[in-house]
Amino acid sequence: MGSHFQRIVDVEVTEADARALAERMVGWMVTEGLITRERMRYGVYSPGTDTGYVPGPNWRRAVADPSDPGWLPGPVAVMTGRHYYVEGQGADEADAAICPACAARTVVIDYPERFEADQEIWRPFRDGIAVWKDTGGGSVACPACATAVPVTDWDFGSGFVLGALAFDFWGWPPLNTGFHAAFRGQLGHRAEDHTGKF
């Protein structure tokens, strides 16, 4: 059956500012009664953390359909530090990457012919991401135009994003549009949404 998550990734905050912003976002959600300061491990399978914040008394305000009285959402995990995030289940690579210099599309997973990444094509991106995670730099030369492009400038599509701050809502009903708008307003940055399963 597995555990489902909804993820919001801030794709603009720097690593230097991520922890302070994370704390501010947690404080806002606590004030709104969406979560508490209590932490728990059960039901958290997020990259970089094994604990999350327990839902608060007003968690239903954040969801689209709060009508099931028996629904008990899981914790909200907060991840800081440079990391890549993948939507879905079990994937570790992007489907494709679009060069911002020439708009060429590099196909990594050639659906429907293949359902796994071509590791030779993905290797430069994987290496660039590893350098970015370690140093904040990292670039990839475009296979089409040979321009060395910072790995953070490549367009991997919404299902694969790089960021220094992310929030996983484990086992929550679908979050509503009002919550998404308020959350982004508090972030003050562009963010991407993911759903997936562990």
Query: Each residue of 171-192: pLDDT tens digit?
Result: 999 999 999 999 999 999 999 9
Taking CA atoms, 63 is separated from 11, 99, 183, in Å, by 23, 36, 13
8 A C-beta contact, residue 80 and residue 19: yes
Least confident of 65-69, 127-131, 135-139: 65-69
Q: How far apart are CA 91 and CA 194, in angstroms?
A: 13
Residue 197 above 50 pLDDT?
A: yes
How far does Cα 113 stand from its chain's mean position? 27
Q: How far apart are CA 151 and CA 133, in angstroms?
A: 10
R_g of the chain, CA atoms, integer Å: 18
8 A C-beta contact, residue 166 and residue 10: yes
Residue 24 above 50 pLDDT?
A: yes
Least confident of 25-29, 94-98, 115-119, 187-191: 115-119
Q: Looking at per-residue confidence, does 90 or 113 come out higher?
A: 113
Q: Which of 2-11, 113-122, 143-152 is the most confident on average?
A: 143-152
Q: Which of 79, 88, 46 is nearest to 164 (CA)?
A: 79
> What is the structure's pLDDT at 2?
59
Long-range contacts of 116-124 (CB under 8 A, 24+ apart): 117/92, 117/93, 122/93, 122/94
Longest alpha-carbon distance in the chain: 57
- In this prediction the pTM is 0.92
Q: Looking at per-residue confidence, does 148 or 91 come out higher?
A: 148
Residue 33 burial (10 A CB sphere; 0-12, 13-18, 19+): middle
Q: Would you state the structure tokens that stand for residue 118, as one six-digit string?
A: 């071509």
